[in-house]
Amino acid sequence: MNRRKFLELVTAAAVVAADQVRLPALAAGTPTKKASAASTRGTASESNPLLEAWPGPYGGLPPFSSVKPRMFPAAFRASMAECRAEIERIANQRARPTFANTLAPLEAAGRTFARVMSVFDIFTSTANTPAIQSIDRTWKPRLAAFDDEIVQNARLFRRIEAVYEARERNGLTSEQQRLAWVYHNRFVRSGARLDAAQKRELSKINQKLATLYTRFRQNQLADEENQMLVLTAADELAGLPQWLIDAAAASAKEKKRPDTWVIVNTRSAMEPFLTYASRRDLREKAFRLWVHRGDTPGPHDNNPLVTEILALRAKRAKLLGHATYAHWSVDSGMAKTPQQAMDLMMKVWPAAVARAREEVVDMQAVADAEGGGVKIEPWDYRYYAEKVRKAKYDLDESEIKPYLQLEKMREAMFWASTKLFGLHYKELHGIATIHPDVRVFEVSGPSGDVVGTWYFDPYARAGKSSGAWMNEYRTQEAFEKPVLPIVSNNANFVKGAPGAPVLISWDDAETLFHEFGHALHGLSSKVHYPTLSGTNVPRDFVEFPSQLNEHWLSTPEVLSRFALHCETGKPMSAALVERIRRAHTFNQGFATVEYLASAIVDMQLHLAGETPVEPRRFEQESLVALGMPKEIVMRHRIPHFGHIFSDDGYAAGYYSYLWAEVLDHDAFRAFTEAGGPYDQKVAKRYHDDVLQVGNTVDPAVAYRRFRGKAPSIEPLLEYRGFAKKTEKS
């Protein structure tokens, strides 16, 4: 597993920290008894399906078949008015503030608005047509202003603060006390204590940021959709395996480029091309297309937007009483301070760079032996790394890939979760979806009771964000009544020839398991209040369940059952499994350096404070100071770093993947120290102490309950083969 953990896993920050969730809780359930949806929408809007409770089984499912883009503006207006009225009723009460008359109705408020936003977010990430983009540009600043209107309501905040301050003496349950803390912390962090002038200034900043985020995201999508490598002659296919040629032909057909082969500008297409293409000139051309997304002068240049975003974030952080945006962001996570996060990254960085330099030496030796005077450049790294892997371990990706069929890997994820947690899956038909490629499954627990539904959207298409991510259409709750979660996993695999199985790389298979780990987190939730449900946990903890789930891909039990050759149907041989196991530390220098460079630069960008940032210069100077090997570029260069510039989700927080990896390796050791990867006692502890508790328990406490101790960094360093080098550095 040569790049596990450091993959591009969540594109649109669909899984976010609890304090980043829209305010108030706004759970996507049914309308409350106190405020029916019809009370504020008027007769002209009654036929709008966005404003109705979701129809169908499982407590309702999104009505994709009846939703049209033109319906969103009216739905926004009506649902915002309904939510505003609910908030005013809570804030204007004369009765003394209590949990029952303040936080409980807040949990019930905004149901219609939440459903509208859930569907809109699905459109913007997976069906982002020009019509949706236009609505997005118009409405995102208005929606940001609406968020501020709620959090800046002084009467509402006084009630929340009163409940929070009395939480330990008013007989509240531990979950209710946690909810009081979450609300109070969220409102304070969002400016509830500012004076009127400061609140107006903060709202202007937030509205402007919402506009800039939308432009950044749409610029990135435009470059990914409109820029592509078009191959017109057979000799340009040199070195490419047949599955990649078939995928390129399918992309050409979709792009209406007859008699060509198209390598689209997404990671799942570009990385294989850079790994196998023999034509060095074409590798360079493809590489430059990929790394310069958002970095070409013209209408889609994201660099000026980055400068403005950083300046506004610094201004906002100062308004909120923090030295920099990094201090504001990290304060709500497990790391608590930017220094803590940087300390962890810098423990790993020197060993990663040293390993990467060793990898370059090995690759250069291969290139020298071939002649031609090649000096390893970034567009050569994957190509020659694959040659080194074959020479050192008798292993190459083309040998593994025929065993990794997308459909079989989906079955493998299901099987592992059944073995660990007793979950079972049944495919549903006739369910409305955003696109015909999306499949829907009923998920039931050990007792046979349905626990939720899972949507699977695996293929790339126009209007869909790149990368892979999990989304919660609706979170679990048991507040007014039991509400089942609805979760989705989304990817961007390229379809091959009609009827042929879609083959994926080992890294892609890990990504599938990773995102399914997020899905399991949402599906396993068993809490009372929606704000505390599922993945609504601090950002540097939310990646822990997802990264832990990757470990089960490589278990013999999974590989022997589901890694079946696409032509022969035979399972992957024990010898090949062993070669994969022995090669798991291969190319870890590259994988760690490209990820950590992005994470460190992210933190440095947000520690810059009010100092103006010119992205190209900042990136170059930062990497030189770090000693970045010239043969590697950041996994996410600044102009297309959607994790941190398409919204606030991972800004000054990309370190979270590494932070969570410390937890996941330490946690997996709990399984291996017991009865193995499928040990039932450890699985139950993990399920009960982590997956089902959401944010009802402080993450550090939850982890210690599961593990019996604080996490250690050593399992991570040992897995990556860095332990000895780090100790000497």
Give strand pairing partners of 425.
Answer: 443
C-alpha count within 13 angstroms, C-beta hemisphere, residue 296: 16
Pick from 580, 563, 581: nearest CA to 572: 563
275-304 in b/e form (b: 16+ CB < 10 A) is bbbebeebbbebbebbbebbbbeeebebbe
Write down the catalytic residue from 161, 472, 477, 515. Answer: 515
d(CA 12, CA 647): 8
Contact predicate 152/504, CB 8 Å: no
Pick from 507, 469, 457: nearest CA to 643: 469
CA 581 vs CA 14, 27, 395, 556: distances in Å = 32, 43, 11, 10
d(CA 225, CA 460): 10
Tell whether the torsion through CA atoms of 310, 315, 317 and 322 is positive or negative.
positive
CA 439 vs CA 355, 428, 436, 499, 725: distances in Å = 42, 8, 8, 17, 46
Pick from 102, 18, 16: nearest CA to 530: 18
Q: How many CB atoms lie within 10 A of CB 448?
A: 8
Contact predicate 504/409, CB 8 Å: yes
Pick from 142, 121, 135: nearest CA to 208: 142
φ, ψ at 457 (rounded to 5°): -125, 85
CA 641 vs CA 133, 336, 356, 425, 729: distances in Å = 19, 23, 23, 35, 31
Phi-psi category of 502—alpha, beta or left, where left has phi over 0 and alpha has psi -120 to 50? beta
Task: Please calculate the CA angle 275-281-287 and round it to the nearest 5 degrees.
Answer: 55
Tell whether the torsion through CA atoms of 296, 134, 212 and 188 is positive or negative.
negative
Residues constituting the chain: 729
Using CA atoms in the order 641, 643, 646, 649, what is the torsion angle rounded to 10 degrees?
Answer: -150
d(CA 46, CA 417): 42
480 among known catalytic residues: no
Q: Which residues are catalytic?
A: 515
